[in-house]
Structure 1
Amino acid sequence: MSDLDVPALQRRLAEFAAARDWGQYHTPKNLAAALSVEAGELVEIFQWLTPEQSARIMADPDQARRVEDEVADVLAYLLQFCEVLGIDALAALDAKIDRNEKRFPAKGGGHPME
């Protein structure tokens, strides 16, 4: 685990975009679309793998790099989206977990889809 934090990463992303005059393109709509595209690229890596292959993907250095790159892209666009809309991503996640704990009380470890 690194010492990086969400606000520091958001500042770094904002500075990167500002240095390239990309802010004009970073509207909520465009960032949501870019996030979806990057999530799709992550899905594409796993699309035709068996469950066993997908569980072992990080053992292959080339595939691991691809997965890490797509995870980074997804996270980057999500953080930029949150920055533009003033959303504290970690607070939003914490609140969602609280709601889910009430919505799906523990009943012995079963998954809600079972």
Structure 2
Amino acid sequence: MSAGRGGGGGGGGRHPVALTELAKNMADFAADREWDRFHSPRNLLLALVGEVGELSEIFQWKGEVPRGLANWDEEEKVHLGEELSDVLLYLVRLADVCDVDLGQAALRKLQKNAVKYPVAVCKGSSKKYNEISTLGHNSV
């Protein structure tokens, strides 16, 4: 099952789309089909994991891929956009069913990560927060 109205590859949207708009569209999509009874948090999570697997398959044998996907053809980019969309739509639906404001949760997580990864000690490093020296900074 694709998780809703699909899109192609790299953009082309008419306006920025809010997570709340996606959540409403997904709720309407499910309600119209009487799928709410199937959209338990567990089922949505398992569907999300499956879609992440499909997304992973796109990259599985490609090695490192350059930013912007310059060497990909349009069909590959469209397929990528569809799989990314499935992951996003299931994630948004799961958050909605669990009554989590995903946008606010993401902003809070960014703030928490800013404390865990202060620029002064993390710039240019890929080390995890528990592997860095905070040089006098408090870590969370």
What TM-score do you get using the length of structure 1 for normalisation? Answer: 0.89
Aligned equivalent of 1:63: 76
Q: How many residues align?
A: 112
CA distance in structure 1 between the partners assigned to 2:126 and 2:114 by the alignment: 13
The Cα RMSD (Å) is 1.8
Aligned equivalent of 2:40: 27
Aligned equivalent of 1:41: 54
- Relative distance call for 1:57 and 1:72 in structure 2 (3 A) is farther
1:10-33 CA distance string (max 9 Å, x none): 111111111111101000000011
Aligned equivalent of 1:15: 28
Give the C-alpha shift of residue 4 in structure 1.
2.1
Aligned equivalent of 1:74: 87
Give the C-alpha shift of residue 57 in structure 1.
6.2
Q: Which runs of 5+ in 1 are unaligned?
A: none
Give the C-alpha shift of residue 58 in structure 1.
7.0
Give the C-alpha shift of residue 3 in structure 1.
3.1
- In the alignment, structure 1 residue 109 sits paired with structure 2 residue 128: no
Which has more radius of gyration?
2
Aligned equivalent of 1:100: 113
Identity %, equivalent residues = 33
1:47-76 CA distance string (max 9 Å, x none): 00021xx22367411100110000100000
Q: Secondary structure at the match of 1:7?
A: helix
What TM-score do you get using the length of structure 2 for normalisation? Answer: 0.73
CA distance in structure 1 between the partners assigned to 2:20 and 2:102 by the alignment: 10
Task: Report if aligned partners of 1:35, 1:77 keep a CA contact under 8 Å in 2.
Answer: yes
Q: Which runs of 5+ in 2 are unaligned?
A: 1-12, 132-140
